[in-house]
Structure 1
Amino acid sequence: MKTIVLAGATSASGLAVTRALITAGMRVVATGRSADRLQPLADAGARTDVADATSLDDMIALAERLASDGLTVDAVVPLVGGWRGGGGLAGQSDEDFAALLPALDAVRATSRAFDGALRASDAGRFAIVSSTAVARPLAGGANYAAVKAASEAWTRAVAQGFAKTARDAGEPLRAASVVFRAKALDAESLAPRIVGLWDADAVELNDRVIDLE
């Protein structure tokens, strides 16, 4: 049974992905900062853990707890998001930029904390949800597009790290890092894409940017 960590999963998307993964026979570990907000995920069958997806310390501690329980982590998907924008370039405030940065923080913290676990898995997967705004940024969404672009760059660096580790060890590539881009995130379209992360070999999947329709 594959174990999937959904970090920052207390959103409609987190619940939809959780239900889809459990229906597919996978184990879900869902994190959030509020036990109350995690309850619907627990009701859906997920193992829940109160932990901050943007905190490297929290994510390392979670990785260590799962390892001590004998669980091999097969995928990590940070789902911290949000949008702020409008007002043209002049309206791109420092406050809005700071409010958007946790999405990047979560990508960095989760990928670093679980890097070893994903490389040790028979088919490790790291995936983020980005935006089509990266390809066509608008002045009124410059803060948002910049954070998403940075998240994509980090995720592609994770992909290069997976490939280099396999190459240096003379082993086949088993782990893959993927970017999903959405114009407007639809939880029901994201869920099957996460479930389908193992439909392709890591060599085909690693470092791909996939548009969600």
Structure 2
Amino acid sequence: MLIAGATSASGLAAARVLASAGAQVVAVGRDAGRLGELAAAVPGVRTEVCDLTDEHDVTALAERVHAAEGPVDGVLHLVGGWRGGGGLAGQSDDDYRFLERSFTALRHVSRTFDADLRGSEAARLAVVSSTAVARPLAGGANYAAVKAATEAWTRAVAQGFTKGARDAGAPLAAASVIFRVKSLDGLEEALAQRFADLWASRAAEVNDTIVELTDPAL
């Protein structure tokens, strides 16, 4: 089980939930210090420092993970960030390039571990998107555009899973899912649990679906 972009509150929550469920968790991030804090908080979690926007770095990551843990059967993509404001005129190229890193990381990770997920008896890939995709605002146009691209890529992964199973004459075993949130603040545990719960449903029931996450207190 690989958590991409694990050095956030959501990454910590996911590591705790997945490890408590018995999963072998690999937490990946760029900050070795914050990964060390996660490892101390959740014993048994393997940490890996990797620049997920670097294709060669991700290839090397996969080689290390395969050697230590074997094939990956789950990916939770948490690489993200926010920059915005200033209306359409305020949507700078610098801000766009910053936000685009999350999409680049998803492309690298999903391609690199695609064979693992396809070959698993029960694999799940999930990304965190935003309600801004359905209602983009001028001041968040860069952000909404990147999230829309993220959703399109994730749905393409889902179609690839379906086609692969159909061509092999086998039941669908892998699923690709989009979680949409307005904000992750306060939803870290809910996100982690909903990701873990994906294995309780058949792949055909959850593949190529969009799950809206809202504050359970509301």
TM-score per shorter chain, which class?
over 0.9
Q: Are the counterparts in 2 of residues 74 and 125 from structure 1 also a CA contact under 8 Å?
A: yes
Match of 1:211 in 2: 212
Query: 1:14 aligned to 2:15?
Result: no
Flag the 1:134–1:107 CA change in 2: closer, same or farther, 3 A: same
- For the residue of structure 2 that corresponds to 1:73, the secondary structure is coil
- Map 1:51-130 → 2, pairs under 5 A: 51-130=50-129
**Number of matched residues?**
210
- Opposite residue 187 of structure 1, the aligned amino acid is E
For residues 73-109 of structure 1, give each alpha carbon's deviation from its aligned partner in whole angstroms, at most 9, with x where no partner exists: 1101121111111111111111111110111011101
1:62-83 Cα deviation digits (max 9, x unpaired): 2222222352311011211111
Shift of 1:31: 0.9
Give the alignment of 1:100-179 within 5 angstroms: 100-179=99-178
In structure 2, what residue type is equivalent to 1:210? V
- What TM-score do the two structures reach when normalised by structure 2? 0.93
For the residues of structure 2 that align with 1:48 and 1:122, how far apart are their CA atoms? Answer: 25
**In 1, distance between residues paired with 2:72 and 2:204?**
19
Over the aligned positions, Cα root-mean-square deviation in angstroms equals: 1.1
Specify the alignment match of 2:190 in structure 1.
Answer: 189
Q: Is the 8 A contact 1:12 1:187 kept in 2?
A: yes
Instruction: Report the identity percentage.
Output: 61
Give secondary structure in 2 for the equivalent of 1:193: helix
Query: Does structure 2 conserve the Cα–Cα contact (< 8 Å) formed by 1:162 and 1:175?
Result: yes
Gaps of 5+ in 1: none
Deviating beyond 6 angstroms after TM superposition, the runs of 4 or more aligned structure 1 residues are: none
Q: Are 1:29 and 2:60 an aligned pair?
A: no
Partner of 1:201: 202
Amino acid of the structure 2 residue aligned with 1:194: F
Separation of aligned partners in 2, 1:72 and 1:10: 22
User: In the aligned structure 2, how far is the partner of 1:27 from the partner of 1:196?
Assistant: 16
